[in-house]
Structure 1
């Protein structure tokens, strides 16, 4: 049996090299990753969020606003979630080891799961606090709320804008949802405080809080589903196995494809494995050509790491269900 194992993977450098011999071929492709900017972005978000949390506690006590104090507690939870996400993201930077041959890329979706769970819990808490206030609205210090809302928009808006760019990391997206909740929350506080200042319609505050919480809850659940798909090694949504198989079958001398698997480590690093069946008359040089063409094709499909086994039609792969 002729086995070929080409590999492509991402790293901090960019180069390609290959080895041919003994029926095995290894192709490595390295591209600059997105992980280092993620850590920097999370650090900035943590500093901004934690600084404003302190301001919120002081402002909430000064204005005697339970709503502001609730936001302060919520932002404190955000800060803890961001700190956990940052710690786990740093671990995801470490390379492969004998114990973790794929490295620690799964730390990123694991951190995203923890952050999303905290986000769901926070949203449920906000909803539970907002609903009773429809029947028992409480007067608030609207002037103090306006100033705190403006500060909140500046702090949380800057952090959310930073995290919204430059990465496909699920971890960073989950943290960005935290900050987006804060930004939308402060928009609601600012609008509500202005209206309440002139109308005394204090039921507006829980109404806006409820709308924001439901929106964030919906997005957090979607993020949890994405993390769940990664841990279950589901096929990435942007790649269709049938289309990949059809493309591989277009390579000359490839007569069948089986045992095809596609999964992702962290939402952006995509892995492929499969068996290519070639004609019985194909020699070593033809098998090497097929392997090279297959690797180039898979790279064009956005697949960073591929393992291929090339075999002839009269060979059996050794698996009961290929």
Structure 2
């Protein structure tokens, strides 16, 4: 039997357990709540002279845009494949995560610029207003984050969660700063907290940026060991060698694999491929696998 090109997934895997979950309602609620809060927070930040409130409002605005991007990508990922986009639009979730990281970088630059300016020229701040408005922000941001708590396996949803969870912590910092200003009258506390906000955002952004760039470059997804998969395939009965093994993310939740198995005794049958499919999906979280069986190796590069 000559070389055969076989797909290791059958009809029983059509749904794929790692398909994007439906967070449409969560996104809608989060966008409405945070848009309203951005307007209120920016207005009171201007009235009270609080750079910390304005900085937090700017970050919240970037979060609204991030939620919109993530929602749009999750909807696009569910669209059916076309003749040109044969995988559909699944990878739009990766692009959304990368864009969200970019938005955060822009927000960091804008907030840092204004914070340094305020440090050079301190202004009077109404600590009580800061504390009250930021306290409302804690409730809104923590509540929105909770809506995305169950989707942590998806970097696109995780990005939305991290945005909102970080905002809740930042709002807590603004509350503390407002109370400190109220008690001490020291105006430098406001820009100092703004600077701390920038550091918190930067810390969260680095992880999101690193993961989204890796996915964009088709790196093996986190949590999957290329060596473990290769050892599993090489250890199958009748397999002499494994080459052209590639593992890459199709989206933020779905992973694909292609591999050539050298089997001198020939093709072992569909049951063999079905067992590989089951093992890869349930033990390695790889839902789209394509296996080519060869009697002799025909390495096409990257073996």
**In structure 2, what is the Cα distance between the partners aligned to 1:184 and 1:272?**
39
8 Å contact kept, 2:245–2:259: yes
User: More displaced, 235-244 or 99-108?
Assistant: 235-244
Deviates more, 1:53-62 or 1:268-277: 53-62
CA deviation after TM superposition for structure 1 residue 244, in Å:
1.2
Rounded Cα–Cα distance in structure 2 between residues aligned with 1:236 and 1:81: 22
- In the TM superposition, residue 192 of structure 1 has moved relative to its aligned partner by 0.7
Q: Do residues 252 (structure 1) and 233 (structure 2) align?
A: no
Write the distance in 2 (CA, Å) between the matches of 1:97 and 1:53.
Answer: 39
Matching of residue 290 in structure 1 with residue 272 in structure 2: yes
1:317 lines up with 2:302 in the alignment: no
CA–CA distance in structure 1, aligned partners of residues 69 and 274 of structure 2: 42
Structure 2 CA distance, aligned partners of 1:312 and 1:188? Answer: 64
In the other structure, the counterpart of 1:302 is 285
CA 1:321/1:184 → structure 2, altered by over 3 Å: closer, same or farther? closer
CA contact (8 A) 2:128 2:178 kept: yes
Q: Distance in 2 between matches of 1:320 and 1:109?
A: 27
Confirm or deny: 8 A CA contact 1:29 1:304 kept in the other structure: no
Per the alignment, residue 19 of structure 1 pairs with none
Cα RMSD (Å): 2.4
SS at match of 2:4: coil
Q: Which has the higher contact order (CA 8 A, sep 6+)?
A: 2
Looking at structure 2, the residues matched to 192 and 318 of structure 1 have their Cα atoms a distance apart, in angstroms, of 63
| Pair 65,296 (structure 1): closer, same or farther in 2 beyond 3 Å | closer
**In the superposition, relative to structure 1, how do residues 62 and 124 fare at CA in structure 2: closer, same or farther (>3 Å)?**
closer
2:4 matched to which residue of 1?
3
Equivalence map 1:51-130=2 (5 Å): 51-130=36-115
Task: Describe the superposition over 1:105-125 as per-residue Cα deviations: whole angstroms up to 9, x where unpaired.
Answer: 111111111111111111222
Matched-pair contact (CA < 8 Å) for 2:131–2:175: yes
Taking a change above 3 Å as real, the CA distance of residues 210 and 87 of structure 1, as seen in their structure-2 partners, is: same
The 2-side partners of 1:154 and 1:105 are apart by 33
The within-5 A match list for 1:118-157 is 118-157=103-142
Q: Is the 8 A contact 2:258 2:291 kept in 1?
A: yes
Alpha-carbon distance change, 186 to 287 in structure 1, aligned in 2, over 3 angstroms: same
Q: How far is the alpha carbon of 1:289 from its aligned partner?
A: 4.1
Larger Rg: 1
Aligned residue pair count: 301
Structure 1 residue 180 displacement after superposition: 2.9
Query: CA 1:94/1:49 → structure 2, altered by over 3 Å: closer, same or farther?
Result: same
1:28-87 Cα shifts (integer Å, max 9, x gaps): 453355534333322221011012122224433543445434433443333233223322
Shift of 1:200: 1.1
Q: Which residue of 1 aligns with 2:175?
A: 190
Aligned with 2:205: secondary structure? Answer: helix
Does structure 1 residue 220 correspond to structure 2 residue 205? yes
Are 2:233 and 1:263 aligned?
A: no
8 A Cα contact 2:242 2:261, kept in partner: yes
| TM-score for the superposition, normalised by structure 1 | 0.84
* SS in structure 2 of the partner of residue 224 of structure 1: helix
DSSP 3-state at the match of 1:252? coil
Instruction: Return closer, same or farther for 1:83/1:288 CA change in 2, 3 Å cut-off.
Output: closer
TM-score between both structures, scaled by the size of structure 2: 0.89
